[in-house]
Amino acid sequence: MNNGFIKVGAIAMTLAAITGCGSKKEKEVGDAITTASSSNKGLKNPKNKPEVVASIQKVLDACASKWSDKEGFDDCSDPMKEFRETNDKIEKAHATYLDILEDNDLHVRWLAAAGLSRNSFELNSNKELAARVVDLVEKEKSGSILDAELAYLAASSYESAGQWDRLRALGLAPTTPLDVKAVLAGWWRGGEKAFDVVKALSVSNDKKLQFAATQGFALHFEKHAPEACNYWSAHFDDADDGVRKSSVGHLTGGWSGNTTRDSEGNWYITGGGGGPSRNGDSACPAAQIDAAMAIIEKRIASNTLDDSNYIYGLESFAMHKKTTPAQKARAVAALKKIVETKGASQRSFALRKLVDVDAKNKAYAAKFASDPDLKFTVESIMKAKT
């Protein structure tokens, strides 16, 4: 179910210690800064706010050996925490961060992008600033750990900022990096110009672009429900795990949000989305719900139900105001079949969802009190207040 939140950030990961590389990494960071200092661009731009430059330099000095090509300086926790807190207190730093993003040093640019992302609201409506963000996206090379993050900032601009034609062109261009296209598909609320990008990705043979399209159809569901439902139905049992699970979540309303991750870095965004959900009024046609149920039942029979989106989806079918009584009963029966299937990976979750659908199913749950795989779940269900 979509809980309505949007979260932007980096995935916390534990890095293995890099032995014998500290001095090398530190020298690389230092050398890059020295090279940049020979010009007046980037971190050395004389127009930069001094407090921004100082906060970035402090991280560079403290975290030289902590850099990761995937995670940036995220493993340098205390200095990064201080950097974020300092950044939040600096007013009107947008132009400075955009200037610093012109630096030649990736370490410096990573910090500038991190700072800009936490202080981005003015970018949405300011024509000059919004144009500069799109400039950066257009220049960013494929394989960058910053392209998705910068694309999200660009996609957040209002129509009045005058960048939507450029964003559409980026989304349709064959040379635009996949990460940029994925962000535009799943997060750019640019009306029909944005939907043109989704349509283009939906006919691609690239599974990553198809996955982006499944999310794009959710974002544009309100005005394009038939196209969205048809696409999700066609890919409900897709050979690609990502495309399949996203289609399951969206068609059933089990998970109506979107999640987009940078392919090379650890930036991601989750939430948003749209379309069917358990508590909403939107739903795909009854015939497509029946077809989806048939696929789910087949997977239950072969014990190949491999994702929680199926369980959330069955819960949604069992409770949605627009599903028929027969469809509701069919969804409940499917949840019970999962519970009764020894070795099924979603047994415990299915049992919990049965009780969420109807508290009277506690009596059914009690039958599994001695089942070694379910007894703790049953204990938890019985203790919970209804």
Domains of the chain by range and CATH? 6-274 (1.25.10), 285-386 (1.25.40)
Question: Do 292 and 357 meet the contact criterion of CB atoms below 8 Å apart?
Answer: no
Closest CA to 23 of 74, 76, 65: 65
Look up the pTM and report it.
Answer: 0.88
| ∠ Cα 244 264 20 (to 5°) | 135
Question: Do 94 and 113 meet the contact criterion of CB atoms below 8 Å apart?
Answer: no
Q: How many CB atoms lie within 10 A of CB 239?
A: 8
Please give the pLDDT value at position 125. 94
Query: pLDDT tens-digit profile of 57-95?
Result: 999 999 999 999 999 999 999 999 999 999 999 999 999
Q: CA 1, CA 153: separation in Å to the nearest integer?
A: 26
- N residues, the chain: 386
Q: How many CB atoms lie within 10 A of CB 126?
A: 18
**Phi-psi group of 72: left, alpha or beta (phi > 0 → left; psi -120 to 50 → alpha; rest → beta):** left
Query: pLDDT tens-digit profile of 217-263?
Result: 999 999 999 999 999 999 999 999 999 999 999 999 999 999 999 99
How many CA atoms within 13 Å lie on the side-chain side of 168? Answer: 14
